[in-house]
Amino acid sequence: MKTEAVIKQTEDALLQVYSRFPVAFDHGEGMYLYDLDGKEYLDFGSGIGVMALGYGNKKYNSALKAQVDKLIHVSNLFYHVPLANAAQKLIKASGMDRVFFTNSGAEAVEGALKLAKKYANNKNKKNYNIIAMEDSFHGRTTGAVAVTGHEEYRTPFAPLFDNVGFAKFNDLSTVSALIDKNTAAVILEPVQGEGGIFPATAEFLEGVRKLCDENDALLIFDEIQCGMGRTGYMFAHQAYGVKPDILLSAKALGCGVPVGAFLCNEKAATMTRGDHGTTYGCNPLVCTAVDTVLDIFDQEKIVEGAKKNGEYLWKKLDEVKAKYACVCDHRGMGLMQGLQFDGVSAIDVVKAALAGGLITIAAANNTVRFLPPLIASKEDIDEMVVRLSKAIESVVAK
Ligand SMILES: *Cc1c(COP(=O)(O)O)cnc(C)c1O
């Protein structure tokens, strides 16, 4: 099939909620994707932070193929070995006590909100409230949208759960102005992703932890984007030494298969038998993926690599910022970085880069986001900078 035909056939049938780029991908290998015409693209988006191991990892692919032939699904009425292994390893990697596997990030957020709501009810918090952050992103289901700090995502779907207060990220005084004894939970991303790559300050995370403890509110860290090695730490909060009561994961957790998780400590483990469920969640196929991903992370020192090459990426993007006056800010941690533009539009840079064979992602605050597979090498980063520089120059010249 030709690209144009693929686009038409797709657009004729799909609900039109996306503006897709006019590219149809065929296959991937390592750090590269290939479209239907065989054109190669260096991938610094990894399917929005999902493909941490890049494309075509032999160990991952063969584990999944073997599991497909063995058993894909049994429901949550039964036990299986991949679940036992995935659960044990994720508990160990996160330092949390309990895990529930979901099919997506938004569902992990929903699970966290249910834990928090039941916590508030158990504690007789009257007309309880939840505190979230401006510029945050937590997903597109109605609960997740209710705590997402972008009005345009919420208003078309009003009324949502409306007892949500939005504080300013990294401004502790705005959290303390909203929090009280009736607060069920505070939810935040230790590094905001969709909002434009804003890492929390240590002072802010420590302060929010303290405010939650003083008000008996749960602290939820949404690490769906910034977790799983992305920042050079297995989970971003480990860089700060501040622990949440509930931790959310998805995206790179399964490196391509749809799986997410909410994890909690014993205090936040408020849901009991009958309170929650899912049909697909934690089936043998996705659990094999999680189990294998965690093994590969361990054996191939993926997190250490992300830390080391994240420092190199930092140096190279700083050089880009110094070279081009239209780059006004550079933020991030590990292999999760962003360049904010001034005077040129980030989306124009993303489009020009794509035309030149480089995938990046636009984010809020006129930011171009870099989320490469965690296997990105120094050579890949050098090549990215060559293609990015050409893209910036072409946009500036317009
Ligand atoms: C992507 C994302 C979500 C939503 O995950 P889905 O799998 O798309 O539902 C939630 N929170 C954060 C921080 C994300 O980046």
What's the angle, vertex CA 319, arms to CA 309 and CA 356, rounded to 5?
A: 80
Please report the pLDDT score of residue 233 as a whole number: 98
Structure tokens at 9: 């056939």
| CA pair distance 282, 287, nearest whole angstrom | 6
State the amino acid at position 70 in one-letter form. K
**Alpha carbon 6 to chain centroid, angstroms:** 28
Task: Using alpha carbons, select from 362, 389, 9 the residue that is nearest to residue 197.
Answer: 362
Ligand 1 contact via 104 beta carbon (within 6 Å): yes
**Secondary structure of residue 200 in the 3-state scheme:** coil
pLDDT by 10s per residue, the chain, length 398: 999 999 999 999 999 999 999 999 999 999 999 999 999 999 999 999 999 999 999 999 999 999 999 999 999 999 999 999 999 999 999 999 999 999 999 999 999 999 999 999 999 999 999 999 999 999 999 999 999 999 999 999 999 998 999 999 999 999 999 999 999 999 999 999 999 999 999 999 999 999 999 999 999 999 999 999 999 999 999 999 999 999 999 999 999 999 999 999 999 999 999 999 999 999 999 999 999 999 999 999 999 999 999 999 999 999 999 999 999 999 999 999 999 999 999 999 999 999 999 999 999 999 999 999 999 999 999 999 999 999 999 999 98
Q: Which of 367, 357, 290 is nearest to 336 (CA)?
A: 367
CA gap 62, 56 in Å, rounded: 10
Probe target for ligand 1 pocket from 107, 224, 226, with the most ligand atoms within 8 Å of CB = 224
Q: Of all protein residues, whose CA lies closest to atom 15 belonging to ligand 1?
A: 225
Neighbouring CB atoms inside 10 A of 332's CB total 25
Q: How far is Cα 272 from Cα 285, in angstroms, rounded to an integer?
A: 25
Q: Whose CA is nearest to atom 10 of ligand 1?
A: 138
From the alpha carbon of 141, which atom of ligand 1 is closest? 9
Alpha carbon of 398 to ligand 1 centroid (Å): 34
**Beta-bridge partner residues of 32:** 29, 42
Cα(9)–Cα(2) distance, integer angstroms: 11
Instruction: List CB contacts of 232: < 8 A, sequence separation 6 or more.
Output: 239, 303, 306, 307, 308, 310, 333, 334, 335
Which letter, b or e, does each residue of 103-112 get, where b requires 16 or more Cβ atoms within 10 Å of its Cβ?
A: bbbbbbbbbb
Specify the pLDDT at position 207.
98
What single DSSP character describes residue 253?
A: G
For residue 148 and ligand 1, the question of a CB distance below 6 A is answered with: no
Decide whether any atom of ligand 1 lies within 6 Å of the 189 Cβ.
yes
Instruction: Give the pLDDT score at 354.
Output: 98
Tens digit of pLDDT for each residue in 122-148?
A: 999 999 999 999 999 999 999 999 999
Closest approach atom of ligand 1 to CA 225: 15
Distance 228 CA to ligand 1 centre (A): 13
DSSP, residue by residue, 150-184: -HHHHGGG-S----EEEEPTT-HHHHHHH--TTEE
**Helix, strand, or coil here: 268?**
helix
Task: Name which residue sits closest to atom 7 of ligand 1, judged by CA.
Answer: 105
Q: Which atom of ligand 1 is nearest to the CA of 189?
A: 13
What is the set of domains in the chain, with CATH numbers? 3-57+301-397 (3.90.1150.10), 71-299 (3.40.640.10)
| pLDDT, position 162 | 87
**Integer-rounded Cα radius of gyration of the chain:** 21
* DSSP code of residue 271: -
Cα 260 to middle of ligand 1, angstroms: 9
Preceding peptide of 159 cis, ω within 30°: yes
Do 132 and 192 form a contact (C-beta atoms < 8 A)? Answer: no
pLDDT at position 398:
86
Alpha-carbon dihedral sign for residues 354, 360, 363, 368: negative
CB 328 within 8 A of CB 340: yes
